[in-house]
Structure 1
Amino acid sequence: MPLASRAKTVIEAKLSPEGTRRATLFEQLTVRRVAWDTLVRLNRWLSALGKLATSLYCCVIAALVIGVDIRPAVQDALNSGKPIEHVFVLAILLPTLVFLLARSMIGWMRWKVQRELWRRDVERLGGTS
């Protein structure tokens, strides 16, 4: 086999979408077992949950910008009312970390669900996966 045709074969195999269509082991054990209607509903719920998380975070930041003093609430929750140094930084840092973790998990779950929906669509329309 000439070098040019071997190189072409290798490049085509590397750029083929077949590897991206295959379900990973995690996907086979989770989303692959769920019915289509449930996946569509789950995708909608995860979308709404992501929007809710973003809205709540925006409300917290807006409250801080407007001037709502949340120091007492943070001190009561974390240190039984005793003064905490740098409580304002903590009041900004905690909601931000919670938001980033929640939004990342929601986004990752939604990505897995959408990937499975796409994979099933390709199968339904006659593609190979």
Structure 2
Amino acid sequence: MPCLTGSARPRASVMRAARESYRPVVSSPHVKSAAVAAALSALDEGRTPDRSVYRGAVRALLTALAERAPGRSVEVRVPPYGAVQCVPGPRHTRGTPPNVVETDPETWLRIATGRLDWGEAVTEGRVRVSGIRADLSAYLPL
């Protein structure tokens, strides 16, 4: 039987959404920079950072790259934590993009913060690149 107009109560989530944002507080720049610092500190000590710290640091630096090089012609992947599209130029719409940069989280943190040179990382095979626009040396370190 259909509900009569005005007799349905609003859902709690709708009421909550009117009062506060659904986004967690961890999106502030301070928390992001703290995650990067904590992850680098752990790596310097020879430890693997906690998964949540690693994720926050990788995503913060990927976001910074996307802001520094806005566009959609290159996809930068740091599995399993994130990927962004950046660099001005023609964008791809379906399938595997023609310009891809992929690396592991530790290498990404070191490259993005200037602790490892882009060219050195590519030469050593720590970063896999494909496509003519996949050179990020003009945008790194962040």
Q: Same fold per TM (> 0.5)?
A: no
Higher-helix-fraction structure: 1
What TM-score do you get using the length of structure 1 for normalisation?
Answer: 0.23
What TM-score do you get using the length of structure 2 for normalisation?
Answer: 0.22
Higher-strand-fraction structure: 2
Determine which structure has more spread, i.e. the larger CA radius of gyration: 1
Higher RCO (C-alpha under 8 Å, 6+ residues apart): 1
